[in-house]
Structure 1
Amino acid sequence: MSRLEITAPDGTPEVEPGDDLVAIVLLMTSLADGDVLVVTSKVVSKAEGRIRRGTREDALPGETARVVARRGETTIVRNHLGLTMAAAGIDNSNVPQGQIVLLPADPDDSARKLRDGIREHGGVNVAVIVSDTAGRAWREGQTDIAIGAAGLVVAEDYAGRTDAHGNELAVTLPAVADELAGAAELATGKLGGRPFAVVRGRADLVLPVGEHGRGAVSLVRPDGADLFGYGAREAVVRALRAAPADQRPFGAPAAPAELTTAVRDVVGLVPSHTGASDGALMVTCPRGLIRPLTALTFAYGWTVTSTDHPNELRLRPASV
């Protein structure tokens, strides 16, 4: 039998900049070796002085690494932590009007400090998760995820294992840190004033004292490795603009055969191989099709350059 127990205490005092979060946690919770402590990013940010006056719109440019998508008043960005979130994760709830709260500057470091402090002053070995709320592509609503973690196996790798029927698992990688954060949010709630949750029953995920693990940052895909680096509209606009600075989110250059098929299907041209070591292709392109061809090759991670022959263009991988 497997059992998971989640406790979120009531009565936590309002956290102010400079407050000793370790002392507050130890006062409000009853921790044991092997527990996972989930702390909302809001109280971590407050204790670390990440409160600012102004609006989310005022602070958004400074927290944005790049814009992913815009729809009306909603702006989805990749922030400086690598997280893709609405308004970069800037929050204006549970703070006085006219103030906002930024995410912790380094959530993994915040988790490590909390874990070390709890070990030093509480004498127990726990894992710590710093959680925040995020939406999901293709799904309505939001759930909590781990944006910081210490002392925790953040993902369980099942690749190479077999199921009960003898089937080998190839890419199964449960993001247990996110699952624990989401489970904890069921107990903390959004308006209950319960920023701490203690999850008991997964001591197998808690690392030994002194081992903080890979942190939640290891769950963030590198820019360009995600299949959805831009929103649908933004991808079209940026491909047509074809600015080199916009190319990374489209990912690594596609294989020549894949690009050849796309060029044939979209603009009706058939590139030929040059035999060059970089896999370059040549194509004869009427002047009116140069712009759509350039946008298409850009989206596939390639570039278009002219040659000495009229209407003949050279296509080559952008990263070569």
Structure 2
Amino acid sequence: MTLELIGLEGIPLVKKGDNITKLILKALEEQNIELEDSDILLIAETMVSKAEGNIINLGDILPSDDAIIIAKKTQKDSKLVEAIIQESREVVAVGPDFIITETKDGFVCANSGIDESNVDEGLATPMPKNADKSARDLREALEDVTGKELAVIITDTQGRAFRVGAIGTAIGCSGINPLWKRKGEKDLYGRELKSSEIATADELAAAASLIQGQADEGLPVVIVRGFTGFNLLRNKDSNINPLLLPKQYDVFRK
């Protein structure tokens, strides 16, 4: 099996109101690439948030008392901390240089997913307001133009429990189930799998992150081609929720 990762070059820095679909189609044309059935487009959340005008001006924020206290503990700017609090439904943990929160959409991650990279000084981008809807809108628009069956996954860069370093993570998806439940299948020795569940959308996001990068690569859109599980996981009504662990099962917050 061969899995191909294709980074779309030539996509400019996005600003509010830009049409991401048109930018992708133009980049495809310039690179002489045609989308194919079962292609999966991985799109960086910063690009989506900027196009949707979901930008935080840190200069406009008045820090609360809680933000000032947490800022002293973490050595972070108090205005950024206030933005993190406002984007969360719960502050889960505060360390010497990190703030773990549960976002309004249920993601447990650092800094409520707020990103200060690849935006102008004094600005920050939170996660898209509704990453599943953003993914669905982009997928439907691209499918309408190309006539192909596609999937779109919105990606973010997040850390992981008990591991050093960040990886690409899925925060929104459309067109493919993000979780592959393999219970009942057989292993190489013929034994039946009892509970195997694969976070396919996260695995695809991590693969795409190798191309997207975290610095000045300028490749916010990556096409994954050749994923053999596409047809099995095809679902036009999919969303990211199956990957979110319900709080009652989170043994570290009990």
User: Is this contact kept in 1: 2:181–2:197, CA < 8 A?
Assistant: yes
* Moved segments of 4+, more than 4 Å: 206-209
Aligned to 2:17: 18
Contact 2:21 2:142 in 1 (8 A): yes
1:201 to 223, 226, 235: 226
Secondary structure of 1:147's match? strand
CA offset at residue 206 of structure 1?
Answer: 4.8
Please report how far the alpha carbon of residue 166 of structure 1 lies from its aligned counterpart in structure 2 after TM superposition: 2.6
**Cross-structure match for 2:54:** 50
Residues 159, 166 of structure 2: 8 Å contact kept:
yes
Cross-structure match for 1:100? 124
Deviations 1:268-312 (A, max 9, x none): xxxxxxxxxxxxxxxxxxxxxxxxxxxxxxxxxxxxxxxxxxxxx
Once the two structures are overlaid, the 10-residue window that deviates more, 103-112 or 119-128, is 119-128
Partner of 2:197: 173
- Aligned alpha-carbon RMSD (Å): 1.6
Specify which of 188, 207, 211 is matched with residue 187 of structure 1: 211
1:246 aligns to what? none
Q: Return the letter of the residue paired with 1:21.
A: I
User: SS at 1:3's partner residue?
Assistant: coil
Question: Which residue number corresponds to residue 3 of structure 1?
Answer: 2
2:176–2:233 CA contact under 8 A, matched in 1: no
Asked if 1 retains the 8 angstrom alpha-carbon contact of 2:180 and 2:233, the reply is no
Gaps of 5+ in 2: 59-78
Which residue of 2 is the match for residue 234 of structure 1? none
Larger RCO (CA within 8 A; separation ≥ 6): 2
Task: Measure how far apart 1:26 and its partner are.
Answer: 1.2
Is the Cα contact below 8 Å between 1:108 and 1:217 reproduced in 2?
no
How much has 1:136 moved relative to structure 2?
0.6
Match of 1:296 in 2: none
Q: 2: distance between equivalents of 1:207 and 1:58?
A: 43
Shift of 1:202: 1.2
User: Number of residues paired by the alignment?
Assistant: 228
CA drift of 1:27 comes to 1.3
Aligned equivalent of 2:140: 116
Between the aligned partners of 2:104 and 2:159, the Cα distance in structure 1 is 18
Gaps of 5+ in 1: 230-249, 251-320
In the alignment, which residue of structure 2 is the partner of 1:62? 86
Residue 36 (structure 2) pairs with residue 32 (structure 1):
yes
Alignment of 1:253-272 (within 5 A): none
Partner of 1:148: 172
CA distance in 1, matches of 2:44, 2:19: 15
Write the letter of the residue equivalent to 1:7: I
Question: Which residue is 1:41 aligned to?
Answer: 45
Aligned identity (percent) is 36
Contact 1:184 1:199 in 2 (8 A): yes
Q: Which one-letter code corresponds to 2:45 in the other structure?
A: S
- Give the match for residue 75 of structure 2: none
User: Matched residue of 2:251: which SS?
Assistant: coil
Instruction: Provide, for residues 22-51 of structure 1, a one-character-per-residue CA deviation record: whole Å limited to 9, x for no partner.
Output: 111111133211100000000000111111
In 2, are the aligned partners of 1:51 and 1:99 still within 8 Å (CA)? yes
1:241-272 alpha-carbon deviations (Å, 9 max, x no partner): xxxxxxxxx2xxxxxxxxxxxxxxxxxxxxxx
CA offsets per residue over residues 56-85 of structure 1, 9 Å max, x none? 223112111111111123110011110011
